[in-house]
Structure 1
Amino acid sequence: MRPSEDRYEVEEDAAPLDMLVALFEARGWPCDSTATEMSGEIQGSWIKYQVRGIWRSDDMVLQILCLPDIRISKDKLAPAHELVSLVNEQMWLGHFDIWSNGGVLLYRNATMLGDDGLLSLGQAQALVEIAVDECDRFYPAFQFVLWGGRTPAEALEAAMVDAAGEA
């Protein structure tokens, strides 16, 4: 790898998890990996996110998960699900979900790779940046519902206005 301004270049595409680990190491982000999964941590605008890459070689699918460490209590599940639905209408790639086991909020995006099952550095950067950007973009909306007492519609509107005002 050679640094080129803010981006790193590799000579060729690589196995998806190897490429993600190389990206994390080049950026100085902590990460660990196994044969089928990598996990790392990235500082977002609001908090640190746990980012996971899960590789299914049978299907040639790389799944990226980004977890903003938000657990949703049972009494907030209904408005949180409503907000997830409203947020997902705003999304172009990936979606938010609430795991039924533990009420964990997460962003999820799956990418089918070609027959060679390789990932380029550009693809890896885009997948990770999109995940973190979407979590940053909607993090305030979830906080408004969970802690601010706003309705899902009010929370989304407030979060979208705040995001539009940033430069």
Structure 2
Amino acid sequence: MAGNTQILGIQGLQAKFLELRQDMTIKTARRMVASAGSVLRTEARAIAQSHGLKKSGALLRNIAIKRERRAPAGTEQYNLGVRHGRDLGNGKKVIKYLEVGKSGRVVTRRQNDPFYWKFLEFNTKYRNATPFIQTALENKSEQAVTAMQDRLDKDLAKYK
């Protein structure tokens, strides 16, 4: 969603990160990135609500961070996005129902599915974009790095 965004100011974290015990580096890295992601998620929800994108609340409830399981070796990666379609459940039971689509076929729909989030985030032929995820990254990148720093300091004090 954000493309190849580079966040600067992380060099200072690297030296402190090397002070951790070897068995705690993966856990701490995941906690650090998740804390930064939660800052961005909160901002994305606030921006989406300020744009008036809350009709049913499904879009705001489904803005989430998710750990990338197939991240390159030596990195931790979380994705910020909107759960929709098959990924909507996240362990919860999702109410599905059958409906006749525009072409006359029977299709499966999910209750409170914010499938339309891409139309809001990106331009379409009929509508200009009202981005909330990209704007959250632009607005809160420094606070995300600060949240990573705070999480690292907390883990250093606990596991050193």
Q: Which TM-score tier does this pair reach, normalised by the shorter chain?
A: 0.3 to 0.5
Higher RCO structure, 1 or 2 (CA under 8 Å, sep 6+) = 2
TM-score under structure 1 length normalisation: 0.32
Q: Which has the larger radius of gyration?
A: 2
TM-score under structure 2 length normalisation: 0.33
Higher strand share: 1
Higher helix share: 2
